Structure 1
Amino acid sequence: GGSIGQGLDDPAPTITAGGGGKSSLVSLTLSPEHEAGALRVAAFLISYYGTENISACDSPAPTITTKDRLAMVTVMVKGTPYMIVDICLRMLKPAELYKAQGFPADYIISHGADGKPFTKTQQVHMCGNSVSPPPMAALARANDPWRAEQQQAAAA
């Protein structure tokens, strides 16, 4: 009919004699796999952002409690609700880590000066202990008194 729908928290409209008005409730049932994923996401977020079930670094990771909680995580995108059933995290590859640090694309991370190849773990470790080139270059330029003197002499 002419109904365009409304929120569940709004009162139901009056049923008219015209026969065109219809009321309905739309619900969605998740598959067992998606429901399990949504509960894992909720347990993960509750563990980090809730007020309970939080562990310190020196204690074991928490388990899912038996306390009843709202356990589905939804987000609104342009007015449409979506349920998060998987966070889809992945580890960045060494080349991606170096790129994020600002290293040039031709920077060699696959082997050392002696030609011995690095493992992926070694590549990640070295990136984590590296100094990002762009900020270091900016610091070096800002703290180079000889270059400043050369620029002043060239300008004169």
Structure 2
Amino acid sequence: MERQFGASVGQGLNEPAPTITAGGGGKSSLVELQLSPEVEAGALRVAAFLISYYGTSDAGDIAAPAPAITTRDRLALVTVTIKGTPYVIVDICLRMLQPAELYKAQGFPGDYIISHGADGKPFTKTQQVHMCGNSVSPPPMAALARANDPWRIAQAMAA
């Protein structure tokens, strides 16, 4: 949904609708993706692919030669159609993860301090990302430490 307050601010349809005004103070409109016939035809060609089902999930490019055709049905043309309408991926939006998200993905606890050093000096975002990239993920390191601690292993077996 788009709100036209001079800046065309958009919002998701899963959020509550904003106040609808009667005057010219803010018009709301639904924004839909429109593809030209040429772009849609290209997107549909890209969306279709062959998948062979020999117990694997390998998908082949529709433009590539098909594997050997056997007397048994082993190839399927895959397209996504919902209620008669073909669906395609038009754009994939990517964004860089924030430092806190990177640390979380590495397995660091949520309260792990990444904003500053022991001396209190703040780290830049670049430094935070760099340190995460050079870090050792805590869960595998903890597993290695447990596996290589003979005293604890002996103590656990004695108990």
TM-score w.r.t. the length of structure 1 is 0.50
- Using structure 2 for the length normalisation, give the TM-score: 0.49
More strand by share: 2
For CA contacts below 8 A with separation 6 or more, give which structure has more relative contact order. 1
Report the structure number with the largest CA radius of gyration: 1
